[in-house]
């Protein structure tokens, strides 16, 4: 067990102890956003036969292509044209994507011909192969289409449909349980009594989980939902890959969250990371489930989620672990000195002169305000002074990931 470690060590330890996801089979229509657990190959050529790339005319052989005129054949149905043969010197109207009759040497767009009765005159040059989509031109039979680990996007949905793939094997969605340990918060639907307040951490964390493709299977408030906390945690650790214990990192002189991990027989991986806000975070492992103890202070809780839980959620799904780190010009500065390494909530945007970041208002660990519009964490090294307007700072971009820990 490691105590009061630095963030990079916490990341390495979390990577080492990452849980794994099982596979499931889903219909292609429900696969958007899911992570493929199988590599898919082309079962046939795409396009399956040579097709016209334009709306125009298929041209047969003609003693040299530019030998005007061609004799126009009548229109054929799709099924007929697939087995039709284009005689020497003949031409036939075709649509984009339409199958070409056998004997087609090239296709010419309709705007480059002149039609007079049954004769077609080329107005431009044409070479054999022009405007023809070859069979297998996009994907050849047996070629790899999509690799295991790929997230299914709309293009992948198009590919699955093009190849008639109706079901795919994907990773299960990460299942997450959230247990709120603070004794003075109440869940949604309960009117807070004297000295109590409504919980905001549970709904916020559940939103983060959902945005990362996970499912919150339980949102547990021990004083309200009852049952032995140890038994609840043991049960949830069997049903999930990640349990978030919120608050209770230091309560009445006891670290409830850490005692709880020890009581259920979890391996405590680390406790305390030398950052602010949220330095009391910790991690444990119970079976295949990672237990993360996050601060109960809302803004610190969100920082903890993004620094510990979010990379694990990505890693589970085979996505890049680390946030992209950039240097940005701080538009408005930050007035405080920094003791231990500090993560300030900011809004980064790219300008043609480079990255800029604005420190958001409400930077106390308790204030949700600093997360409104937040898309970046400004990473201030220990012992740094106030940040002046226009000063350069290191920034973690919360919406951009990379596989390597250190970038320059």
- The residues in 240-299 that bind a second copy, with binding defined as CB under 8 A, are 247, 249-253, 295-298
Full DSSP string of 30-83: G-TTPBBSS-EE-SS-BSSS-EESSSEEEE---SSTT-SPEEEPPP--HHHHHH
Alpha-carbon distance of 187 to 200, in angstroms, equals: 9
Alpha-carbon distance of 89 to 58, in angstroms, equals: 11
Applying the rule CB under 8 A, the residues between 144 and 183 that interact with a second copy are 146, 153-164, 166, 182-183
Q: Which of 87, 137, 172, 235 binds a second copy (CB under 8 A)?
A: 137
Continuous H helices in 163-287: 201-211, 222-225, 229-239, 256-263
The window from 9-17, 281-289, 323-331, 332-340 that contacts a second copy (CB under 8 A) reads: 323-331
Question: How far are the Cα atoms of 158, 160, 241, 316, 317 from residue 169, in angstroms, in the given order?
Answer: 17, 12, 19, 16, 13
Residue 183 Cβ, how far from a second copy at the closest point, in Å? 6
Give 13 or 82: the residue with its C-beta nearer to a second copy: 82
Applying the rule CB under 8 A, the residues between 349 and 368 that interact with a second copy are 350, 352, 362, 364-368
Total chain residues near a second copy (CB under 8 A): 97
Residue 32 engages a second copy in binding (rule: CB under 8 A): yes
Give 184 or 288: the residue with its C-beta nearer to a second copy: 184
Residue 52, number of CB atoms within 10 A of its CB: 23
The residue assigned the tokens 């409104």 is: 372
Residue 116 Cβ, how far from a second copy at the closest point, in Å? 15
Alpha-carbon distance of 38 to 174, in angstroms, equals: 18
Residue 118 engages a second copy in binding (rule: CB under 8 A): no
Residue 162 Cβ, how far from a second copy at the closest point, in Å? 4
Residue 128 engages a second copy in binding (rule: CB under 8 A): no
Residue 390 engages a second copy in binding (rule: CB under 8 A): no
First to last CA, the chain: 31
Give 184 or 384: the residue with its C-beta nearer to a second copy: 184
Give 67 or 95: the residue with its C-beta nearer to a second copy: 95
Residue 29 engages a second copy in binding (rule: CB under 8 A): yes
Applying the rule CB under 8 A, the residues between 180 and 219 that interact with a second copy are 182-185, 188-189, 191-208, 210-211
Neighbour-count burial for 242-251, b at 16+ CB within 10 Å, e otherwise: bbbbbbbbee
């Amino acid at each position: 067990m490691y105590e009061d470690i630095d963030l990079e060590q916490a990341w390495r330890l979390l990577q080492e102890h990452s849980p794994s996801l099982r596979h499931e089979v889903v219909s292609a229509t429900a696969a958007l956003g899911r992570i493929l657990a199988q590599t898919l190959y082309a079962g046939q050529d795409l396009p399956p036969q040579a097709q016209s790339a334009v709306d125009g005319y298929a041209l047969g052989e003609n003693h040299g292509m530019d030998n005007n005129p061609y004799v126009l054949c009548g229109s054929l149905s799709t099924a007929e044209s697939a087995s039709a043969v284009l005689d020497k010197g003949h031409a036939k109207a075709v649509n984009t994507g339409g199958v070409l009759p056998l004997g087609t040497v090239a296709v010419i767009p309709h705007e480059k011909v002149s039609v007079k009765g049954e004769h077609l005159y080329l107005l431009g040059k044409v070479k054999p192969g022009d405007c023809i989509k070859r069979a297998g031109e996009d994907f050849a039979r047996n070629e790899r289409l999509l690799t295991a680990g790929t997230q299914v996007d709309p293009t992948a949905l198009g590919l699955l449909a093009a190849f008639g793939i109706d079901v795919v094997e994907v990773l299960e969605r990460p299942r997450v349980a959230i247990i709120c340990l603070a004794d003075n918060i109440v869940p949604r639907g309960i009117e807070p009594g004297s000295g109590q307040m409504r919980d905001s951490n549970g709904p916020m964390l559940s939103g983060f989980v959902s945005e990362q493709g996970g499912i919150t299977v339980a949102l547990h408030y021990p004083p309200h939902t009852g049952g032995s906390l140890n038994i609840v945690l043991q049960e949830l650790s069997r049903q999930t890959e990640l349990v978030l214990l919120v608050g209770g990192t230091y309560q009445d002189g006891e670290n409830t969250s850490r005692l709880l991990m020890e009581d259920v027989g979890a391996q405590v991986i680390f406790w305390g990371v030398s950052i602010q806000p949220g330095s009391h975070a910790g991690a444990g492992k119970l079976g295949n489930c990672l237990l993360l103890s996050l601060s109960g202070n809302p803004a610190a809780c969100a920082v903890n989620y993004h620094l510990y839980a979010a990379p694990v959620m990505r890693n589970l799904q085979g996505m890049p672990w680390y946030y992209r780190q950039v240097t940005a010009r701080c538009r408005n500065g930050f007035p405080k000195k920094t003791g231990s390494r500090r993560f300030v909530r900011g809004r980064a945007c790219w300008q043609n002169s480079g990255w800029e970041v604005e420190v958001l208002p409400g930077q106390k660990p308790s204030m949700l305000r600093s997360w409104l519009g937040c898309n970046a964490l400004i990473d201030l090294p220990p012992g740094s002074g106030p940040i002046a307007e226009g000063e350069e700072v290191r920034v973690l971009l919360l919406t951009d990931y990379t596989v390597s820990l250190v970038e320059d």
